[in-house]
Amino acid sequence: MNIRRSLAAAALVAAVSAPVAFAAAPASAEELPTGRSQPDTAPATDPADDDAAKRDAADRAEIQRILAEPTTGRGVREAATKALAGTPQDRRHFLTVDLPKLRAEDNRVRVAQIYSDPTNGRGVHEGARKVMGGTDAEVEHFLTVELPELRAQDNRVRLSRLMADPNSSRYLREAAEKAMDGTDAEVEHFLTVELPKIVADDNRIKVVRILGEPGIGRILHEAAEKAVDGTDADVLKFLADLPSLRASDDRLRISQLVETGGPEVKKAGLAALATNTPEALRAFLTTGLARAQAKDKAAAGQGGTGTGTQAGTGQGTGAQGGSGSTVTPVSATTATTAVTTRTTDTTTGTDRLASTGTDAPLGGIAAAGGTAVALGAVALIAARRRSRA
């Protein structure tokens, strides 16, 4: 009896405990092994923070775009660089508050620069002058809308002038005509890219022609050779210095003529040296020298009509009288085979720019060397122009 009661009690206890044991089993099964922790779960994010990050990324991109624009002014560029290195609030303040003010200031600075730039055409210059007293919106409209149109018009006016300029080379005029038939962008490209190259080539050809001048003086010849072998800037400087270089050669030659010429040549030469301007020196050599030599020749001929051995025979055989051989140019005193053919021309004044005195031997040398340099330079320029076509 007692055994039965014990068994019944045990069964009752088992029945009551079973649900609790079974319920606890899954929990025990989910427990991790000793020494291992359960993975962390990400905290919930605030949507407002995501929006702020996206907006700052967009602000950064906009500031970087502004910095990449070549037309961005100095004020905007400095402030944009500072904002980019600052906080999100700095970048937002720059774009919404600082940028409009700084851009307006930079625009006015740019208009002032355009107005004062001497390379701008008349249309651009007048447009900039008119808008300088306008509103910020008018200035912005001028820079973004009017300026490109005015510049295109001025460019075509400039092309027309190049085509009509008698000093423009044939190659330059043909290239300008071709550009005139193109678009505004093609005209702009011609003026900014092609024209400087063409002008540089034409300038070098001018130097080559100077080297080929008969009777070129030593000073001018040396400077021209140095220039033609140099850079485009060297050529440009040579052409700018050309009047003074010619004057130096002319001054040297006149001094030599004064030392060896007749009374009239000395008188006219000294007057030119006293004036000492490039124009006066050149005028003496191109016109005054021939007149002075003619007067000396006439005076010598009148003095050679006597019969005595001292006065001459009328044919100029006397020591003191005679014909124009009495007025001997300096070139005859230092003549070489290279300049012998120029002696008579100098006496008659037909080759007024021939070298004399110590310059005389250089005339022949320059004729040969200068021709070789000229041919080489012209061939080089022609090849360069063919490659551009």
Q: Which two tokens stand for residue 236?
A: 């440009």
**Interval 58-72 mean pLDDT:** 94
**Interval 147-170 mean pLDDT:** 95
Q: Which of 27-36, 39-48, 147-156 has the highest mean pLDDT?
A: 147-156
- Average pLDDT, rounded, for the chain: 77
Whole-number CA gyration radius for the chain: 47
For tokens 């300026």, name the residue.
147
- Is the pLDDT assigned to residue 349 strictly greater than 70? no
The pLDDT assigned to 358 comes to 35
- Is the pLDDT assigned to residue 245 strictly greater than 80? yes
- Is the pLDDT assigned to residue 15 strictly greater than 90? no
**Interval 45-73 mean pLDDT:** 89
- Is the pLDDT assigned to residue 4 strictly greater than 60? no
The pLDDT assigned to 384 comes to 59
Q: Identify residue 372 by its one-letter amino acid code.
A: A
Contact status, residue 190 vs residue 207, Cβ threshold 8 Å? no
**Interval 145-161 mean pLDDT:** 96
- Rounded to whole angstroms, the maximal C-alpha distance in the chain is 196
pLDDT-derived band at 38 (thresholds 50, 70, 90) equals low
- Is the pLDDT assigned to residue 322 strictly greater than 80? no
The pLDDT assigned to 234 comes to 95
Question: pLDDT per residue over 250-265, tens digit each?
Answer: 999 999 999 999 999 9
The pLDDT assigned to 359 comes to 38
pLDDT-derived band at 318 (thresholds 50, 70, 90) equals very low
The pLDDT assigned to 184 comes to 96
Give which of 341, 339, 309, 340 is closest to 322, Cα–Cα.
Answer: 309
Question: pLDDT per residue over 39-55, tens digit each?
Answer: 555 555 566 778 899 99
Q: Which residues contact 249 (CB under 8 A, 6 or more apart)?
A: 216, 217, 218, 219, 220, 359
The pLDDT assigned to 377 comes to 57
Question: pLDDT per residue over 282-310, tens digit each?
Answer: 999 999 999 999 999 998 887 655 444 44
Question: pLDDT per residue over 363-389, tens digit each?
Answer: 444 444 555 555 555 655 655 555 655
Q: How buried is residue 310: exposed, middle or buried, by Cβ count under 10 Å (0-12/13-18/19+)?
A: exposed
- Is the pLDDT assigned to residue 347 strictly greater than 80? no
The pLDDT assigned to 142 comes to 97
- Is the pLDDT assigned to residue 17 strictly greater than 70? no
- Is the pLDDT assigned to residue 118 strictly greater than 50? yes
Contact status, residue 302 vs residue 316, Cβ threshold 8 Å? no
Contact status, residue 344 vs residue 326, Cβ threshold 8 Å? no
Query: Which DSSP state fits 328?
Result: -
| Long-range contacts of residues 106-110, Cβ cutoff 8 Å, at least 24 apart | 106/72, 106/73, 106/74, 106/75, 106/76, 107/73, 107/136, 107/139, 107/140, 107/143, 108/132, 108/139, 109/73, 109/74, 109/75, 110/71, 110/73, 110/143
The pLDDT assigned to 214 comes to 86
Contact status, residue 334 vs residue 256, Cβ threshold 8 Å? no
**Interval 355-361 mean pLDDT:** 38
- Is the pLDDT assigned to residue 98 strictly greater than 50? yes
- Is the pLDDT assigned to residue 160 strictly greater than 90? yes
Distance of alpha carbon 322 from alpha carbon 313, whole angstroms: 7
